[in-house]
Amino acid sequence: MLVLGLETSCDETGVALYDTGAGLLAHALFSQVDIHVEYGGVVPELASRDHVRKVLPLVQEVLQDAGRDERSIDAVAYTAGPGLAGALMVGATLARALAWGWGIPALGVHHMEGHLLAPMLEEESPPFPFVALLVSGGHTQLVRVDAIGRYRLLGESLDDAAGEAFDKVAKMLGLPYPGGPHVARLAERGDASRFDFPRPMVNRPGLDFSFSGLKTHTLNTVAACTGDGELTEQDRCDIASAFEQAVVSTLVIKCRRALRQEGLKTLVMAGGVSANRYLRAELKRALAKEQAAVFYPAPVFCTDNGAMIAYAGAQRLAAGQFDEADVAVRPRWPMDELPPLDAVGAVQ
C-alpha cells in the first residue's frame, strides 16, 4: 500500500510517501520558523496561511522525488489533531479533496501517535511492549505501549511541557524562537554546578511532571544575576546548562521509574525535544545500568514531519481503518481514545 502523508498541525508543513512494502520513498518539510521568529512564537493565522501556500507544492515535490504519480497512490493520511484548528483544517481539507478526486480512502492520524511510531522508520525498530516518552513543545507524557492503538497513559506534565519550558527560558535569556536548540547550544559552554536547580516532583511517587516551578526558579536566577547590570555571556551559558540538566535529570528519573513500574526494558523517545543530544546521552547512560534499551527517530523525524503521519496512517489503513467523507479535526484529542489496530472498520 502506497500512502501519502500530510502534516500541518502547527508551524511545519510536512509531506511524505510511504510504501508498506518498500518503506519511506520520499519526504519534504518546510519550516515556518522565519515567519514566526519576530513574534517570539507561533501565530496561528499566519501558520494556516503558509500551510495553504506550501502543502500542495510539497505534494508535487514528493511525488516527483519518488518517481510516482497520483495514480499509484492507494490512500491519503493526514494529521487530524491535536494541533491548531486552522492549520489542521488545511491538511484535512486537502487530504479529503485529493482522496475524493483520486477515488481512494483517507484517514485522520493522531499527531502524537505519529511521533510515538516515528522510531519505526529506522532500520532497528523497538519491539512491543515498551514505554514511550513523548516530549515536545506541547506534550510531555509517559505512555505504556502494548501495540499500535493499545496505549495507557502513565504520567504527563501538569503544567508546561518540557519543550514549552525550554522556549520560555530561551526568552528569559534573550534567545530567539524556537528556543530549545539555542538553549542547548548555550548549555554546551556552561557550568551547571554554579547553580542549584530543582528536579521537580522526583521526590514524590508517580510519573507526572511539572516544569512551571523550574521555569520560575530560572527567572529568579536570571534576576539575581542581572542585578543593576546585564547578564554576561557566561551567566547565560551557566543558567542554560543548569536548566537543561534539571530538565534532563527529571526526565531520566521518571523514565527509569516507569520502566521499573511496568517491568519493561525498552524505552522509546519521540517528539521535538528528543533531538536534544544531552538528553539522548543521559538516557543511554542511565538505561545501560538498567540493562534497558532506548530507541528514538533520526533527528529529521523528531520534529513534526509527514513521514511519521504517512507511516502511522499506513498501519491503520492497511488494517482496514478509514474515515467517512466528512472533514473533522480535533485540536484536543486524548491518545487513549484511539481504537486498537485490530478494530477494523470505519473510524468515526
Task: Read off the pLDDT of residues 170-199 as tens digits, 9 standing for 90 and up.
Answer: 999 999 988 999 999 999 999 999 999 999
Confirm whether residue 180 is marked as ligand binding.
yes
* pTM of full prediction above 0.85: yes
Query: Tell me, what's the pLDDT at 156?
Result: 96
Say whether pLDDT at 229 is over 90.
no
Query: Tell me, what's the pLDDT at 84?
Result: 97
Query: Tell me, what's the pLDDT at 233?
Result: 96
Say whether pLDDT at 347 is over 80.
no
Tell me the mean pLDDT in the region 94-116: 97
Of all residues in the chain, the percent with pLDDT exceeding 90 is 92
291 band by pLDDT with thresholds 50, 70 and 90:
very high
Mean pLDDT of the chain: 95
Confirm whether residue 81 is marked as ligand binding.
no
Confirm whether residue 83 is marked as ligand binding.
no
Q: What's the per-residue H, E or C state across the chain?
A: CEEEEEECCCCEEEEEEEECCCEEEEEEEEECHHHHHHHCCCCHHHHHHHHHHHHHHHHHHHHHHHCCCHHHCCEEEEEEECCCHHHHHHHHHHHHHHHHHHCCCEEEEEHHHHHHHHHHHCCCCCCCCEEEEEECCCCEEEEEEEECCEEEEEEEECCCCHHHHHHHHHHHCCCCCCHHHHHHHHHCCCCHHHCCCCCCCCCCCCCCECCHHHHHHHHHHHHHHHCCCCCCHHHHHHHHHHHHHHHHHHHHHHHHHHHHHHCCCEEEEECHHHHCHHHHHHHHHHHHHCCCEEECCCHHHCCCCHHHHHHHHHHHHHCCCEECCCCCCCCCCCHHHCCCCCCCCEEC
Confirm whether residue 193 is marked as ligand binding.
no
Tell me the mean pLDDT in the region 147-163: 95
Confirm whether residue 208 is marked as ligand binding.
no
Query: Tell me, what's the pLDDT at 336?
Result: 87
Confirm whether residue 137 is marked as ligand binding.
yes
Confirm whether residue 167 is marked as ligand binding.
yes
At 16-38, the pLDDT tens digits run: 999 999 999 999 999 999 999 98
Higher pLDDT, 172 or 324: 172
Confirm whether residue 69 is marked as ligand binding.
no
Say whether pLDDT at 348 is over 50.
no
Query: Tell me, what's the pLDDT at 346?
Result: 42
Confirm whether residue 74 is marked as ligand binding.
no
Confirm whether residue 115 is marked as ligand binding.
yes
Confirm whether residue 136 is marked as ligand binding.
yes
